[in-house]
A and B are shown apart, each in its own frame.
Chain A
Amino acid sequence: MRDDVVICRCEDVTYGDIVRAISGGLSTTEEIKRILRCGMGPCQGRTCSRLIARIIASETGATIDDVEFPVVRPPTMPVEIGVMADEHHED
């Protein structure tokens, strides 16, 4: 695959970025998420996690069952900060 193929659309992370990160020593989706931000954009990894797990498996020789997926944290969807702030308004 060409290096410039976009894997994470939210954060514009390419196949080349991920392969380089793996050859630099990263081996889990969680690590790749923290360094490259894929999975931290508005879709929260729904689009790219699966692709990244496959790339890790093929680059490291692991089976996909062994690739750990990133921890899921709330909120599931982007929320305006004002919505959360409103919670604490006293009327």
Chain B
Amino acid sequence: MRISEHPILDFDRGREIEFEFDGKRLVGFEGETIAAALHAAEVRVLRRSIKLDRPRGFFCAIGRCSSCLMTVDDVPNVMTCVTPLRAGMKVETQSGKGTIAPEGARLATGDAASEAIPSAVPLAIVGAGPAGLSAAIYAGRLGVESVVIDENDVPGGQLIKQTHMFFGSLDHYARVRGIDIGERLVQDLESCPARLLTGTTVLGLYDDGDAKALSLLKDGQHARLRARAVILATGASENVLAFENCDLPGVYGAGAVQTLMNVYGVAPGERVLMVGAGNIGLIVSYQLLQAGVRVEAVIDAMDEIGGYHVHAAKIRRMGVPILTSHTILRADGETRVESATIARVDERWAPVPGSERTLDVDTVCLAVGLTPNCELALMAGADGVYVAELGGHVARHDRDLETNVPGVFIAGDASGIEEASTAMLEGRLAGLAAAERLVPDADANALASLRQEAEDGLGELRAGPFGERPRFGKNRMFDLVNDTKDERRGS
């Protein structure tokens, strides 16, 4: 179902185009993904799983989880949640692993005249979200040339779907909607010696003598980029929750729901159960209500609401019950969610017998946290450490956001889950630290004052009650780093 009226967003849909789905003619819009167009046309099952033949739809909608693989133009295993829809495409439900593409079959890519990839650059930044763009801008202020690589066609990372205003006192970004912050960052980047390389996936990160080599994939072509320093600003992946039928189409990550409705103007369903009463769960619930979707309930296994009370109050006023100490037991439905059963949990998180309730919903939205995407850092040799407060496994790093691999920095959610404002500040710090390394004669005073400004900002954002968790996590991480440095000194 397409959203026709929205209080904040105007959906600037592209040209209407026809495509084929399992032999039927469907209509979508240029500029949307295959999965979004199918969802708007009420198609939920995108594939059948490889062994158990279970129906599957998308889950993350940002190209991480691989739940949405379909056969497109005879090419199997196409990630339809990130692949743009094109006129005349032949899209098919994929069974299992699909059939190998006939010789010569290739997925049509966009503009043939794509930009050439340079072979070397002083600083490579992976991820064009709040952290990566900020890193490029601040390194650029000290004259460092960079290439910012992003797998999406549009820069901005997850800011492109954040319709809410940002709290905090982050100079010119406070009280601004996330979508607008992304645009400002991209504008700020234009005055920097930075090149944006969109639609490009980083496949690997390797040692290359005294530098690093990145293996890149763009438009079906492989390329190699050598960089003296690398900043990884690769964001996070949405967590799943294990329950009966958690893989049924209609169980979506909160980020996927935001992508669908705020980027493509497609309602995820008509009646939603939100799992998770942290800020993301509360904010996305409000955005669902704005889009005209009913939120039957917000549940959370914790005994109190995790997010800001101002967000909770807003959705309560609109009649949405927030049930703490509740969990989801299962989703039910033949090929898509038709209902969900929830139950109260006791203080040991065990469901209380007799407290089960079945809700008439067609969508279950999971807002149960994020996990840092630090694979590239680990691949390059960074140590993985488990810090629960930062979202799980993170790459060991110091206050300059440098990992234990010299020249490899990590910033934003990839270095520990926080939010976009802290990601921007971490990006700045990483950009400055990399610049200090790359420009030996950089203006030390300018560097020190920019660094102080970013550190103060981070301190301020982490000072509040909601900053306690990440602050604690980051400090634990820095202590770990110091311990190892002490060990090295001692030995």
User: Residues 23-67 of chain B: 1 if any A CB is under 8 Å from the residue's CB, otherwise 0?
Assistant: 000000000000000000000000001111010100110011111
Distance A15 CA – B247 CA, assembled complex (angstroms)? 13
Distance A82 CA – B214 CA, assembled complex (angstroms)? 19
Residue from B65, B244, B386 within 8 A of A43 (CB atoms) = B65
Distance A44 CA – B379 CA, assembled complex (angstroms)? 13
Contacts of B221 in A (CB 8 A): 83, 86
Instruction: State the main secondary structure of chain A at its contact with B.
Output: loop
B388 and A77 contact, CB distance less than 8 A: no
Instruction: State the main secondary structure of chain B at its contact with A.
Output: mixed
Flag whether A23 is at the interface (Cβ < 8 A). no
B56 and A9 contact, CB distance less than 8 A: yes
Size class of the B contact interface (CB-based, 8 Å): 35 or more
Flag whether B77 is at the interface (Cβ < 8 A). yes
Contacts of A10 in B (CB 8 A): 50, 66
B66 and A11 contact, CB distance less than 8 A: no
Residue from B50, B222, B242, B246 within 8 A of A83 (CB atoms) = B222
Distance A41 CA – B77 CA, assembled complex (angstroms)? 11
Flag whether B422 is at the interface (Cβ < 8 A). no
* Chain B nearest CB, measured from A5 CB (Å): 5
Flag whether B398 is at the interface (Cβ < 8 A). no
A5 and B244 contact, CB distance less than 8 A: yes
B66 and A50 contact, CB distance less than 8 A: no
* Chain A nearest CB, measured from B225 CB (Å): 14
- Give A residues with C-beta under 8 Å from B: 1-2, 4-7, 9-12, 15, 41-44, 46-48, 50-51, 64-65, 67, 69, 71-80, 83-84, 86-87
- Give B residues with C-beta under 8 Å from A: 49-52, 54, 56, 59-60, 63-67, 69, 77, 201-206, 215, 217, 220-222, 237, 239-240, 242-247, 371, 373, 375-376, 378-379, 384, 386, 388, 392-393
| 13 new A-B contacts at CB < 8 Å, known A9-B67, A42-B77, A74-B206 | A5-B244, A12-B54, A41-B66, A43-B66, A44-B375, A46-B237, A47-B59, A47-B65, A74-B203, A76-B375, A76-B379, A78-B77, A87-B222
